[in-house]
Structure 1
Amino acid sequence: MTVRIYHNPRCSKSRQTLALLQDKGIEPDVVEYLKTPPSAAELDRLLTAMGMAPREAMRRKEPPYKELGLDNPSLDRAALIKAMVENPVLIERPIVAKDGKAALGRPPEAVLGIL
């Protein structure tokens, strides 16, 4: 029953989601994904569990999105995931995972459905 949060302590939504989990008595495994990005396989599993395509979980206003031409519709899932792993600032946050399920904490209460 391990709960993991892919967390950015500088992000208010990420802090709010972490606080929500802790208020529910859950002490999650905290992964500061900017320091320790998920592997491509792990990110692919998270996206699949959330039912999201890579672009849906990308921060499209971050400079690498435009610099790397990630809006190119011909880029496939693997290329987009690779870009996210190599530039973790592109990964939308926070992501909470538990028992093969995952949810994006936007809003923070959205993660309650997987707990």
Structure 2
Amino acid sequence: MLQILHNNRCGKSRNCLAILESKKLEFEIINYLTTPPTEATLKSVLKKLGIPPIDLVRQKEKLWIDTFKGKTLSEEEIINIMITNPILIERPLLITETSAIIARDEAKIHNFLQ
């Protein structure tokens, strides 16, 4: 089943959700701020995205800048930081059984859903 990792306070996330609703697709909304992904889930999403953990971090987020920027961190440490601080996870994410995208671009969302 299609899932969206969603933050209702994020305009890009709300836009992605609106696209899903307009297409009348069946999907699950996961508010990742209240239900953070597990380590296994996050690793699975990273594998589907085909990116290293640092590329899923919201590096302009104040928490990242104040606490982690400039530090040498392993991939495992970055994953644990995102689990502990889910606000640092890039959003929204669209996830299927076999693939995932960071769904910030409308055209990318439409292509993914075809």
Q: Does the alignment reach a TM-score above 0.5? A: yes
**How far apart are the structure 1 equivalents of 2:111 and 2:40?**
24
Matching residue of 1:103: 101
Q: Secondary structure at the match of 1:5?
A: strand
Superposed CA RMSD: 1.4
- Pairs aligned (count): 113
1:44 corresponds to: 43
Alpha-carbon shift at residue 92 of structure 1 (Å): 0.5
Distance in 1, Cα, partners of 2:110 & 2:93: 12
SS at match of 2:5: strand
**Inter-CA distance 39–108: structure 2 relative to 1 (3 Å threshold):** farther
Distance of 1:42 and 1:111 partners within structure 2: 21
Deviation at 1:68, TM superposition (A): 3.0
What secondary structure is seen at the aligned counterpart in 1 of 2:90?
A: coil
Per-residue deviation at 1:90?
A: 0.2
Map Cα deviations across residues 15-38 of structure 1 (whole Å, 9 max, x no partner): 111111111111310000001000
Aligned to 2:87: 89
Secondary structure of residue in 1 paired with 2:64: helix
Q: Percent identity?
A: 35
**What does residue 6 of structure 1 align with?**
5
The offset of 1:101, in angstroms, is 0.8
- Measured in 1, the distance between the counterparts of 2:14 and 2:96 equals 18
Secondary structure of 1:52's aligned partner = coil
Amino acid aligned to 1:56: D
Q: Normalising to structure 1: TM-score of the pair?
A: 0.89
State the Cα distance separating 1:70 from its structure 2 match: 4.4
Distance 1:77 1:109 in 2: 30
Residue 49 of structure 1: CA displacement? 0.4
TM-score normalized with structure 2 length: 0.90
Deviation at 1:95, TM superposition (A): 0.3
Distance 1:99 1:113, change over 3 A: farther
Deviation, structure 1 residue 56: 1.0
